[in-house]
Structure 1
Amino acid sequence: MPSSRKPRTMRPSLRRALVIVATVPLAATMLTAPSAAADPAAAQRSTAELDRDERKMARNLDIRIRDRRLGGRVSGVVIDAASDRRIWGHHAATALMPASNVKLATAVGALTVLGPDHRFTTKVVHGSGTLTLVGGGDHTLTTRDLGALAKDAVASLKRAGVTSVRVRVDGRLFPRPTRATGWKRGYYPGEVTPVRALAVAGHDVMDTSLDAGQVFARLLAQRGVTVTGGVNRGAAGARDVTVGQHRSAKLSRIVRRMLKVSDNDIAESLLRMTALGAGRPATFEGGTAAVRTVLSGTYGVSLANFRMYDGSGLSRATRIPAQTLAEILDLTVDPRHSRTLKHVADGLPVAGQRGATLGPEWGRFDTAASRCAVGKVRAKTGTLTGAIALSGMTKAQDGRWKVFSFVENGSPANPSATKDALDGLAATVNGCWA
């Protein structure tokens, strides 16, 4: 089962300088070295360049990657940030199902195309006795926000002497289909809602547009305006007058929220809005094409063996190598892209920090092997049935920053045990589990 809503109750082609982000300093470089399996001689030369601490880390990773809890299909890579040296790799170019690590690509695409200061607009227009709630792709819209919209709309109606209206919703911004290739029926609406341009945050319903309209209608009634008939779908009229407007928080803040709690609905909305910003249709195909263009065309990330079908990582058809995930993470701390992409690094959950997917409420970094890395690792989690991933960054024992990505598919172990093993690998990169 995907793990993005309810926590457990228990339990490098360019050199660059170190970058400090937020309260935790982070650094990385673009990954260009081939996998050890593809070029053993290069891997041997790389190993000869490692310092004592790095050699120890690599030896420990070689042992711990064989942990039975990880199963037989596991890949990983570790890169030294400042020198571009590859510290360790294991089938790093093998494409596996990355689960929610896909959100890293989605975030980079959205921030690059739309910009970190971008805001999404939901508006209410009036015409011919009808109020139309127009969706703008904001999946952080709350009931409180709708209340403010209702207040503004009612004030405008009263000034015009209007006391009774019909209500409809306009969600044309996002066309069908509302469900991606590779989504299991059991995912919605609990893990993800069918993607629409209008939704109330936290409302797990099959039709988010009608649900938002119904909430809006009730709020109008509470403020003394009579709503006649039920809430229907319809297009806002060309001559309708805007009587209320809500603008979301900046995209940078929304991205951080999405990553920390792994919000699938926000991810899918961002994918559609990225498509629109890039001049493409607001579909899954348009969004993933826009992200691919950003990654390869703008930043030069290798898309070999890269297949992406949604923005959240719920698609079981998606395949991305650990090597590519590391390259994507590397971008987020490149000083040339700091203003745009630092928000991805800022949004990574911190090991042991409550309120994010690496917190103790999720049973993460709470074993004897990994507890030492609490507060020292930032990483994006990913969990689907048969797929668990962890990609992030940490400062190692040699005092240098490392970028890592670990992805496993098909382990027969209990998922909690597999996550513990991945946390142990991250602690190994940090060096606290020596």
Structure 2
Amino acid sequence: MPKSLPAIRVSGRHRKTKTPSPSLRRAALIALTAPVAGTILAGPSAFAAEKAVAKAAALDPAEQKIADNLNTRAQDTRLGNRLSGVVIDAESGNTVWGHDATTALMPASNTKLATATAALKVLGPGHRFTTKVVYGVGTLTLVGGGDRTLTTDDLAALARTAVAGLRNAGLTSVKVRVDDSLFPSPTLAAGWNTGYYPDSIAPVRALVVDGRHVMDTALDAGQSFAELLAGQGITVTGSVTRGVAGSGDVPVARHQSDRLSVIVKHMLKVSDNDIAETLLRTTALTAGRPATFEGGTAVVREVLTRYGVSLDNFVIHDGSGLSRANRIPARTLADILDVAADPRHSNTLKYVVDGLPVAGEAGSTLGPEWGRFDTADSRCAVGQVKAKTGTLTGAIGLSGLTKAKDGRWKIFSFIENDSTAAPGAVKDALDGLAATVNGCWA
């Protein structure tokens, strides 16, 4: 049986009604310099353990204006007839606006918010992935540890250390083998099709170099390793093979990745599908489940439940959001972000919020190279909105947070399915909704 996850001591959506003292009203800073000069996004104003119970409450004038404008702008024909949306106040938990908020739609890469939350909780922000080289019976085995960030330079460093060891032992030739047995053989998730390989995603294996999109990333990495050995005067005999390192094999070299917190932020910024699926499998293994889509998504559900996130109408089959069978309501996505932004969980989950692309941030999925936040309606929100994007044929999402005109942080999620408008036009409309929440498009 899978071992249970560590207890998560949270109150979820159940907030106290007690009014916090002024000394507790210190904002939790989200450490991010926005892409516009001099702009820094501060974190959601909140108190360590003093949030009010989420309830129906009168909206302040700024919130009422948000709600009124969204009621109108959600009718934009570019958004079609299937929109799930919600805006909540991060401090009080009150719902500012909702439109079919509990209707589950295809979330695309907004799924990565759930994957990142589970990975950070189960693995811990300081987790590092280890790639090893071991030697036994005339063979060097490159052992994959699920590091999707391994580079040729890292592999070269492993080769140099291995060569030094071989020469010290008086060896000049060796066979090369790869061991990617940490994960089972790749399969398609429910809702995937073979057309995803190897463009949108490579088959999920525990060994890859330079994030290459090839059908067998492990053998590809092994061949690169063999070439690096040969370049240093070692004769590699035979072809690179696949196998499992022996229990008596001697450790020769190892490389450790950057911290998980850094990897998660990168994964969210650029919406890296390969990293997301690797995280899903490693999370499953650490929680005592099989390193499969089913094992990983089961752990995601367990973690979200323990954080008090409702899983009503929540269906996921992968970690990246490529599955066309995934269904998540906007309310659930907003609640995941609400938990991540809560200072009570900042030691573990703040990296989810830190990793959200910023409107106008070059190199992220909200950058100008993707045509985001560049219309007359949304340009005013550049540097003021942080949000995870999501795009599949027939599904576009935007879930994040922004500081509204009342000085309070609002968390939002907008998921659109089946619009007949061009994808770029739908994205422009969603960017406008985010600018509306910010209040700069009044």
- State whether structure 2 residue 137 is matched by structure 1 residue 128: yes
* CA distance, structure 2, for counterparts of residue 409 and residue 249 of structure 1: 36
* CA distance, structure 2, for counterparts of residue 403 and residue 13 of structure 1: 17
Q: Which runs of 5+ in 2 are unaligned?
A: 1-12, 33-40
* CA distance, structure 2, for counterparts of residue 32 and residue 125 of structure 1: 55
- State whether structure 2 residue 14 is matched by structure 1 residue 13: yes
Give the drift of 1:197: 0.5
Give the match for residue 384 of structure 2: 376
Give the match for residue 111 of structure 2: 102
- State whether structure 2 residue 307 is matched by structure 1 residue 306: no
- State whether structure 2 residue 375 is matched by structure 1 residue 367: yes
Q: Does structure 1 retain, via aligned residues, the 8 Å contact 2:45–2:408?
A: no
* CA distance, structure 2, for counterparts of residue 231 and residue 382 of structure 1: 38
Matches within 5 A, 1:38-53: 46=57, 49-53=58-62
| Deviations 1:206-250 (CA, angstroms, capped at 9, x unpaired) | 111111111111111111111111111011011111111000000
Matches within 5 A, 1:406-425: 406-425=414-433
* CA distance, structure 1, for counterparts of residue 279 and residue 53 of structure 2: 28
- State whether structure 2 residue 171 is matched by structure 1 residue 162: yes
Give the drift of 1:177: 3.8
* CA distance, structure 2, for counterparts of residue 310 and residue 31 of structure 1: 34
Give the match for residue 340 of structure 2: 332
1:84 pairs with 89, 93, 99, which one? 93
1:25 pairs with 42, 51, 70, which one? 42
Q: Does structure 2 retain, via aligned residues, the 8 Å contact 1:28–1:333?
A: no
Give the drift of 1:322: 0.4
Give the drift of 1:52: 1.1
Q: CA RMSD in A?
A: 1.5
Give the match for residue 355 of structure 1: 363
Do the aligned partners of residues 32 and 192 (structure 1) sit closer, same or farther apart at CA in structure 2, a change above 3 Å counting?
farther
- State whether structure 2 residue 146 is matched by structure 1 residue 137: yes
Matches within 5 A, 1:33-432: 46=57, 49-297=58-306, 299-432=307-440
* CA distance, structure 2, for counterparts of residue 32 and residue 223 of structure 1: 65
* CA distance, structure 2, for counterparts of residue 373 and residue 428 of structure 1: 9
Do the aligned partners of residues 25 and 260 (structure 1) sit closer, same or farther apart at CA in structure 2, a change above 3 Å counting?
same
| Deviations 1:77-126 (CA, angstroms, capped at 9, x unpaired) | 00111122110000000000000001000000000000000100000001
Give the match for residue 38 of structure 1: none
* CA distance, structure 1, for counterparts of residue 90 and residue 66 of structure 2: 15
* CA distance, structure 1, for counterparts of residue 256 and residue 358 of structure 2: 29
Q: Which runs of 5+ in 1 are unaligned?
A: 1-11, 34-41
Q: Does structure 1 retain, via aligned residues, the 8 Å contact 2:109–2:391?
A: yes
Q: Normalising by structure 1, what TM-score?
A: 0.92
Q: Percent identity?
A: 68
Q: Does structure 2 retain, via aligned residues, the 8 Å contact 1:391–1:404?
A: yes
Do the aligned partners of residues 76 and 132 (structure 1) sit closer, same or farther apart at CA in structure 2, a change above 3 Å counting?
same
Q: Does structure 1 retain, via aligned residues, the 8 Å contact 2:107–2:328?
A: yes
Give the match for residue 8 of structure 1: none
Give the drift of 1:399: 0.9
Q: Does structure 1 retain, via aligned residues, the 8 Å contact 2:108–2:395?
A: yes
* CA distance, structure 2, for counterparts of residue 31 and residue 409 of structure 1: 33
Give the drift of 1:28: 7.4
What is the aligned length? 410
Which amino acid in structure 2 is aligned with residue 352 of structure 1? G
Do the aligned partners of residues 86 and 31 (structure 1) sit closer, same or farther apart at CA in structure 2, a change above 3 Å counting?
farther
Structure 1 runs of 4+ with >6 Å offset:
28-33
Q: Does structure 2 retain, via aligned residues, the 8 Å contact 1:28–1:334?
A: no
Which amino acid in structure 2 is aligned with residue 91 of structure 1? D
Which amino acid in structure 2 is aligned with residue 221 of structure 1? A
Give the drift of 1:383: 0.2
| Deviations 1:345-383 (CA, angstroms, capped at 9, x unpaired) | 000000001010000001000000000000000000000
Give the match for residue 7 of structure 2: none
Give the drift of 1:32: 8.7
Q: Normalising by structure 2, what TM-score?
A: 0.90
Q: Does structure 1 retain, via aligned residues, the 8 Å contact 2:198–2:213?
A: yes
Q: For 2:208, what is the secondary structure of its paired residue? A: coil
